[in-house]
Structure 1
Amino acid sequence: MISLRSIDQNNWEACTKLKVKKDQQGFIASNLYSIAESKFFPHWKTKAIYWEEELIGFAMYGIDGDDGNYWIYRFMIDEQFQGLGHGKSAMKLIIQDIESSEDRTDIIWLGYDPDNEQGRKLYARVGFQESGMASWGEMLAKYSFC
């Protein structure tokens, strides 16, 4: 059973200790950096991803101030829990959370390193469609509720 829980005083340090595989480390900012960054953007949600009572991942998402759309800024599953379907389940929960939000937008954007083949496959499996390269070098993909 996968669930999303808010980052709070009880789990933030454990979230900072989650790690992706060595070959994925260049694809995502650290969870410590993301948690700190979220304090300057209070409309961004930070979520701990749990499998039953075990902390297995981290996500950060919210409305982008530049384009007014929801963006999934960070998403990671700890190296020990990858390849078990948890990423797909957690991403579906994030999409459901955004869809049920009062400030929901019609699309969700995310960007990822074009060399992140594992991420590309995961995002495609849950319904994201690539839309081209961003000026900052990431592949952009969007999920549409329509």
Structure 2
Amino acid sequence: MQLREITDDNRKRVRALRVRREQRRFVASVTESLEDAAAEPEARPWARAVYLGDEPVGFVMLSWNAPDYFLWRLLVDKRYQGRGIGRAVLTRIADLVREEGADELLTSYEPGPGDPGPFYRKFGFEPTGEVDDDGEIVLRLPLSPPGAGSNR
């Protein structure tokens, strides 16, 4: 699994990635995500395509706004779900953020039937007790310092 920049060469293929129909209410499209990033440059968006070999299989976007790092979007294409790609992406993102000196990674999700909450909690995210202005539940992943061993 590799994280690659989104360029003119791969943008069309990355924008074509789709989640399953029942997941659409929880996960914005790549196109919408990139539009949100362009509209909020103060959030310091960091977007990457997720590749397996030469095939884009997912998308991830963070708000790279030290000291707060926020997992803004995570999407694995419907054809590639259930293969551990989401977990591999989260592991890589957690490592990158930890290397920046962060002690936690935040994210949020909209609650409802089939929401991604169980996926995040299984990975090690914990509810903060906060609900954001959009009604999303805020989670945090505690990160151990580099070299101190993984918390997963």
TM range (shorter): 0.7 to 0.9
Length, aligned pairs only? 141
TM-score w.r.t. structure 1 length?
A: 0.86
Equivalent residue number for residue 108 of structure 2: 111
- 1:84 equivalent in alignment to 2:83: yes
- Checking the alignment, whether the CA contact within 8 Å between 2:26 and 2:115 is kept in structure 1 is no
Q: Runs of at least 4 residues of structure 1 off by over 6 A? A: none
Q: CA offset at residue 64 of structure 1?
A: 4.7
- Tell me which amino acid in the other structure corresponds to 1:35: L
Equivalent residue number for residue 137 of structure 1: 135
- Checking the alignment, whether the CA contact within 8 Å between 2:94 and 2:143 is kept in structure 1 is no
TM-score w.r.t. structure 2 length?
A: 0.83
- Checking the alignment, whether the CA contact within 8 Å between 1:27 and 1:116 is kept in structure 2 is no
Equivalent residue number for residue 61 of structure 2: 60
- Tell me which amino acid in the other structure corresponds to 1:60: M
Equivalent residue number for residue 124 of structure 1: 121
- Tell me which amino acid in the other structure corresponds to 1:95: A
**Which ranges in structure 2 are unaligned for 5 or more consecutive residues?**
145-152
Q: How large is the Cα RMSD of the aligned pairs?
A: 2.0
- 1:16 equivalent in alignment to 2:15: yes
Q: CA offset at residue 145 of structure 1?
A: 1.4
- Provide, for residues 101-132 of structure 1, a one-character-per-residue CA deviation record: whole Å limited to 9, x for no partner: 3xx43211100111264622221232211223
Query: Identity of aligned pairs, percent?
Result: 24
Equivalent residue number for residue 3 of structure 1: 2
